Chain A
Amino acid sequence: MKIGITKLVDLRQAMPALAWWVVCSALAALFIFPIYLMVMQSVKPLDEAVAIPPTLFPHQFSLESFLALSGENGSINIVHHILNSLYVAIAAVVGTVVVSTLGGYGFARLPFPGRNTLFFAMLTTFMIPFQAIITPLYLVLRTIGIENTLLGLALVYITFELPFGLFLMRNSFATIPAELEEAAFLDGCSPLSALPRVMLPLALPGVVTTALFTFFASWNEFFAALILITDQDKLTLPVTLSILQTGQFGTLNWGILEAGVVVSAIPCIIIYLLLQRYYVSGLLSGALK
């Protein structure tokens, strides 16, 4: 009786179990279908990939689309652009994790005059979209002399992931009981040496979440990468796909484009499936606290 009441607004209660399975499975098919089509398209031979009418599953399996991205005959070398993306994403992850761990620790645990004001000022960056300051940002990078570099792009990504990272890490450190920290101080730790020895291991879930979000954001980012990087050589994956789309190297082949999409999307899906717990909990803590 009690269970029946507490689950009143559960849609499942409003429909028989079989109907629930049917509805959920049909929706699941809708969500998976585009991903299925993408993967299938990428393993068709090149001529089948542009066949009219299109085939819904490969009649013949082939890796031609991926091989066409190997950089031979002046085509796009996808490995090169994967490395560009990896460089930017890893630099952004390391930078964001280090800076927001230090900052989060400071803001949560080491009081100094003006601390709250400063934290608030940093959080205001949540309110302002980076799309609105991309033009002067480009000029700042040019003034420093790192315009059109992957390093510049990584620094920009670090800055735009920082508010979230600081927020998350501050919360992670704030929930650690003060007794643990005091014990460390009494055992002779300085405020700084208590961070790696005592505090950081306890805040590790926050670190993983920050790293995960920064990786996804940097790996997938399109707008800033499109504007700040102008050398084709230095393009990250998403912008490389737009080069494929324009068919700059001969006519556009939809098999090759979807092979590129697979290369860019599948790692995200795999990482999400492996680290789902951190991803979802981070989403909730970032959003609901």
Chain B
Amino acid sequence: MSGFTKQGPRNDTPYTPTAGVGRRRAGDLSWYQRRQLTGVLCVLPAALFITLFFFIPLVLAFWMSLYRWPLLGIHKFIGVANYVAAFHDSTFLHAAGFTAEYTLIITPILLIVGLILALLVKGSRRGTGFFRTVYFLPVPIGFASASFLWVWLVQPDVGPFGRILQMMHLVAQPPQWLAATASALFVVIAMVTWKTSGMQMILLMSGMQAIPTELEEAARVDGAGRWQVFFHITLPLLRPTLALVLVFSVAGSLLAFDQFYIITGGGPSNSTITAVYWIYHTSFVTFQLGYGSALSILLMLVLAAVSFVQLRLIHRSTEF
């Protein structure tokens, strides 16, 4: 740290080599070239990681999707047969449909709960900081841990949730939550809402605090009511943040795996198998790696399309 003082000689234009800098080198490289070289060397490790463990597997995924590729044994080129098979695979089609259904149900729930929490805890009055912290508390817990918690909570005989409903005389017998598709889905949605709405809250809250208060004031002066201001001023101006929260929620839901694998196990009778769950099953339970890759590519395309549409939404909504 010794060489650094704020009072050091100043230079008007950034990055201009001076006599002071130039004296340090005797080699052939100019100061600029040396800085360029350092830049390349600095980003090299990152580039290597991403090439080796991201771009190569990505290319490999396309390639494998054109083959019949068992874990052991001979790979056979079969063209687009895997893709054709995907559209005749009733479990996959059901899984894709179920994933879409799950996404469509949970996204508005998370948005609304996040919005309500954000409205409750924004500002700086006494207590808001505490409640923010509490609502955010489940966010750092992993999806797997949270799922292992909730799968116990909803057990029919030893689980406390059924018992509490019973004690409140809301049910005669503790319900068999995981025995029916709708109630199993309800449990997963409750768990995910509990675990992630704090995250939505924080994002939406900071979006709200970025809205210039003059706009709301002006509307109020013009005679708008409290809820009119919310629906006609705040909500439209919150669109960039809403779009962002939407992207998070939709991408996360389309990739759902942990919560269904752990809580429902895909049951009852495979009705809660998600797209990623089926890819996992295809690739690592029945070891059809080529077919699994084809399904992965399809998932990637869907996700890219959805993200693209949503990013357009963000882009357009920032031009107000």
Give me the interface of A with B, judged by CB distance under 8 Å.
2, 5-14, 20-21, 23-24, 27-28, 30-32, 34-35, 37-38, 41, 49-54, 56, 98-100, 102-103, 105-107, 109-113, 115, 118, 122, 125, 127-137, 139-140, 155-156, 158-159, 162-163, 166, 178-180, 182-192, 197-198, 201, 216, 219-223, 226-227, 238-239, 241-242, 245, 254, 257-258, 260-261, 264-265, 268-269, 271-273, 276, 279-280, 283-284, 287-288
Contact of A6 among B36, B39, B152, B217 (CB under 8 A): B217
Contacting pair A11 B119 (CB below 8 A)? yes
User: Which residues in chain B, 109-135, are within 8 Å of chain A measured between CB atoms?
Assistant: 116-117, 119-123, 125, 127, 131, 133-135
Give me the interface of B with A, judged by CB distance under 8 Å.
1, 3-6, 8-11, 14-15, 18, 20-21, 24, 34-43, 45-47, 49-50, 52-54, 56-58, 60-61, 64, 116-117, 119-123, 125, 127, 131, 133-146, 148-153, 155, 157-160, 163-164, 166, 174, 194, 198-199, 202-203, 206-208, 213, 216-217, 220-221, 226, 229-230, 233-234, 241, 244, 248, 251, 255, 257-258, 261-262, 276, 279-280, 283-284, 289, 292-293, 296-297, 299-300, 303-304, 307
List residues of chain A with CB within 8 A of the CB of B60: 133, 136, 139-140
Contacting pair B3 A241 (CB below 8 A)? no
List residues of chain A with CB within 8 A of the CB of B47: 103, 118, 122
Contact of A11 among B5, B56, B120, B220 (CB under 8 A): B120
Contacting pair B257 A9 (CB below 8 A)? no
List residues of chain B with CB within 8 A of the CB of A201: 1
22 residue pairs bridging A and B, Cβ less than 8 Å apart: A12-B125, A13-B226, A31-B134, A31-B198, A34-B194, A51-B158, A106-B40, A111-B35, A131-B276, A132-B61, A132-B300, A136-B57, A162-B50, A182-B11, A182-B15, A183-B5, A184-B8, A197-B3, A223-B258, A223-B280, A264-B142, A268-B140
Contacting pair A7 B120 (CB below 8 A)? no
A74 to B174, CA, bound (A): 35
Which secondary structure characterizes the binding site on chain B?
helix
- Chain A's nearest CB lies how many Å from the CB of B256? 10
Q: Which 5 A-B pairs have the closest CB atoms?
A: A220-B142, A110-B39, A106-B42, A136-B60, A103-B46
A197 to B3, CA, bound (A): 9
- Closest A-chain residue to B58, C-beta based? A133
- Chain B's nearest CB lies how many Å from the CB of A228? 10
List residues of chain B with CB within 8 A of the CB of A227: 280, 283-284
- Closest A-chain residue to B130, C-beta based? A28
List residues of chain B with CB within 8 A of the CB of A280: 136, 202
List residues of chain B with CB within 8 A of the CB of A269: 137, 140-141
Contact of B144 among A24, A100, A105, A238 (CB under 8 A): A238
List residues of chain B with CB within 8 A of the CB of A107: 43
Contact of B293 among A53, A136, A265 (CB under 8 A): A136
Known: A37-B153, A191-B38, A258-B149. 17 other contacts (CB 8 A): A6-B217, A27-B120, A31-B134, A31-B137, A100-B46, A103-B45, A128-B300, A132-B300, A140-B56, A159-B50, A178-B14, A180-B4, A186-B8, A223-B258, A238-B145, A261-B148, A283-B202
